[in-house]
Structures are given as structure tokens and as C-alpha cells.
Structure 1
């Protein structure tokens, strides 16, 4: 089997099964594990998969920058944003993460909601500047332009002084075994810090993030209480999380 044929086969198995186990695939093809691992390294370098211990998982398409992510699953993100916005109760203090789905949450808050939103996302803060009764606490720091969020020492110092009712977390990958992942080391650390200071964490994830993985782990999947996804997803995508005791809320409009 030629190299390109092997790689095409690997990607087909990944699409069909949702993961690659290097040892199993090498036995099926009668090739050495070193050959399979080399193919996986090259495919990972092309951004076509995410290598993990023993094999590979689908790479998240959500690793594009903020502008690029706006065109990924916009309908699903809008529905998830509306569902998450309805979860916020009067008087609560919540943390809205950065990202395109978090912006949708901000846009869909009830016009009479009286609550406090803490965020390190200038994009979220700008949307909420128009809200008449939501107090906005904008956390500063170094602007990570890829995701348009604050990171760095000043950001961590501010987060350490905050305790919120709910953290609405954005991620680029959600996997029952690998956990919650994203594409930047420092951004992952910020999300992890907020998660530690929240009474509960809700993850907002459109379908392309489920079963996918990115390079940097934020936390185990069991650290969250609720996963909000769009309606109509097949059971195989969401059942692994329900089996772990995580509430899966589908974004149905009222």
C-alpha cells in the first residue's frame, strides 16, 4: 500500500470509528507500528488529526481564529447561545468565556435580566454594553488576538478574586476520555482557573467539537456539570457523556 493510500485509509477509519489505535491498524494492514505512527505524525502536521497516546483522534475544526470560527456552525452556535442564555437567573454572577458561542449567549440574554457577567472577552463586553440591566466586569491582561481574550499574569490575578455561580466555558474539543481541550496552552490555563472558581461549569459545544481533541487539556470531562449541544444529534455523539453523569441539554428553542 502506497503512502497516500495508507493516509487515505487512516482518515477513512478515523471518520468511521472516531479514533485510530495504531497497534490495531498496523495488524490489520500488516505493517509496523512505526510506519503507522509516522503516517499519524505527518497527518497531524497537516492538521488532519490529533495524535494521542496509542493512536489519534479527529482534530477539531474549531482551531481557526475568532474570525474564521464565525463561519463554523453558525446556526448551531446561535441555538446553543439562546439555550445557555435562558439558564442564567436573576441575581447570579456568571463568567462568560471568549469565543463565538459565548458572544451568542451575550446577544440572547433577556432584556430585563438583572445579573452580573464577568468576562475576559472584549467581544462579549461590547455586546453587553448595550444591555440595560446586566453589570459587566471586564477582566484585563494581554490580548490573545487569535481568540480575542485576555490572558497572562494580570488575568490570573483578577480571576483569583472572583467566585461565580456558573462558568460558561468554550472549548475546541470535547472527548469522554481525553477531556476538554483547546488550541493554546495559556488559554487552557485561564479556563482551568475559572473552572476552579465556579460553583458549576457548563460547556457550550456545537457538534464539530464532540469526539474531537486539541493539543492542550483544560480539565477532565467529569469536572463539568452540563454540556449544551444543538438539537438533533445522534445518540452515539452524546451518550458517552451521559454515561459519565453529565447532564446533556439540547438547544431547543421554546
Structure 2
């Protein structure tokens, strides 16, 4: 089999199964694992997959810059943002991450809400200018233009001095084995710090992030994480996440937990 044919076959297996296991595929094709790993490296360099230990996963489409991400699943992000806004209760202190879905959360907070929003995203902060009852705490640091958020040691130090009720997290990939991932090392560190400083974490995940992975791990999936998805999130993508013990919330009008979830974290 020619190199081009092998690579096309690898990508077709990835589309079909949602992952590639290097040993199994090398046996199927009668190739050495070294040859297959070389193909995976080259495909990863072309941005066509994300290499992980033992194989590969779909690359996260959400690694595009802020403007590019605005074009991905815009209606899903509105629905998820609206549902996330309903989870913010009066008097709470909440962390709101950067990203296009987080902007929708801020945009849909009730006009009469009395709460405190802590964010390292100027885009989120600006959405809340007209919310008289929402106190906004803007975390500073080095401005990471790709995602329009503050990162670095100054941001980390500020986060360490805050205890929040809920962290609304944005990621580029959610995978049962690879965990919660993002496309930048410093962003991953900030997200990890925000997660540690909050009593609970709600991950805002439009469908293109489900089953995908990026290079930098924020945290493994744990039963304490709640995942807020759209009503149209594919059942096939949710099944392994549910098996990992994650509580799944659907962003429908009731914002009820997915009926197939086995945790009691409905909202």
C-alpha cells in the first residue's frame, strides 16, 4: 500500500471510529508500528489528527482564533450560553472563561441579576457593562491575542486569591480518555488554576469539541465535572463521556440533565 493510500485509510478509520489504535491498525495493514507512527506524525504535522499515546484522535476544530471560532456552531453556542447563564444564581461569585460560548453566557445573564463575575477575558467583561447588578472583576496579565484572554504569572497570582462558586470553562476538546484539552500551554495552566479555585466546574462544549483533543491537557474528566451541551449533541459522542462518569446537561429550555446521565446534578 502506497503512503498516500495508507494515510487516507488512517483518516477514514479516524472518521469511522473516532480514534486510531496504532498497534491494531498496523496489524490490520501488515505494517510495522514504526511505519504507522511515522504516518501519524506526518498527518499530525499537517493538522489532520492529534497524536496521543498508542494512536491518534480527531484534531480539535476549535483551535482556530477567536474570529474563526465565532463561525463554528454559532446556534449551539447561543443555546449553551443561554443555558449556562441560567445556572448563575443571585449572590454567587463565578469564574467565566474566555471564548465565544462564554461571551454568549455573559450576553444572556438576566438584567436584574446580582452576582460577581470574575474573568480574564476583556470580551466577556465588556458584555457586562450594562448589567448594573453584576460586579465584574477583570483578571490581568499578558494578553494572549489568539484567544483574547490574560495569561501568565500575574493572572495565576490573582486567581489564587479568589474562591468561586462555579467555573464556566471553555475548552477545544473533550474526550473520555484524553480529558479536557486546549491548544495553548499557558491557557491550559490558567484553566487548571480556575478549576482548582472553584467549588464546581461546568464545561461549555459545542458538538465540534466532543470526542476531539488538543495537545495541552487541562484536566482528566472526573465525575465532579458537569458538561453542558446542545440538544443536538450526538449520542455517539456523549456515550463515552457519560461512561466516564461526567454529568451531562442539555441546553434545552428546561436545562435538565440528560435523561441517560447517572449523576444527580440537574439544574
Equivalent residue, structure 2, for 1:168: 168
Equivalent residue, structure 2, for 1:46: 46
1-structure distance, mates of 2:30, 2:16: 20
How far off its partner does 1:135 sit? 0.7
**Unmatched runs of 5 consecutive residues or more in structure 2:** 255-267
Is the counterpart of residue 194 in structure 1 residue 199 in structure 2?
A: no
Equivalent residue, structure 1, for 2:258: none
> Structure 2 length as normaliser, TM-score?
0.93
Contact 2:206 2:233 in 1 (8 A): no
- CA shift digits 1:64-91 (9 cap, x unpaired): 1111111011111111000100100000
Structure 1: which 4+ aligned runs deviate by more than 3 Å? none
How far off its partner does 1:223 sit? 6.5
> Structure 1 length as normaliser, TM-score?
0.98
- CA shift digits 1:30-88 (9 cap, x unpaired): 11111111110011001110000010000000001111111011111111000100100
Equivalent residue, structure 2, for 1:74: 74
Contact 2:223 2:245 in 1 (8 A): no
Equivalent residue, structure 2, for 1:232: 232
Contact 1:226 1:246 in 2 (8 A): yes
2-structure distance, mates of 1:159, 1:56: 34
C-alpha RMSD over aligned residues: 1.0
- CA shift digits 1:140-190 (9 cap, x unpaired): 000000100001111011001010000000000101111100000011000
Equivalent residue, structure 2, for 1:56: 56
1:1-254 map, 5 Å: 1-222=1-222, 224-253=224-253
Contact 1:82 1:253 in 2 (8 A): no
- CA shift digits 1:94-136 (9 cap, x unpaired): 0000000000000000111111000000000011112121110
How far off its partner does 1:247 sit? 1.3
Contact 1:142 1:150 in 2 (8 A): yes
Report SS of the residue matched to 1:253.
Answer: coil
Contact 2:223 2:244 in 1 (8 A): no
2-structure distance, mates of 1:244, 1:71: 30
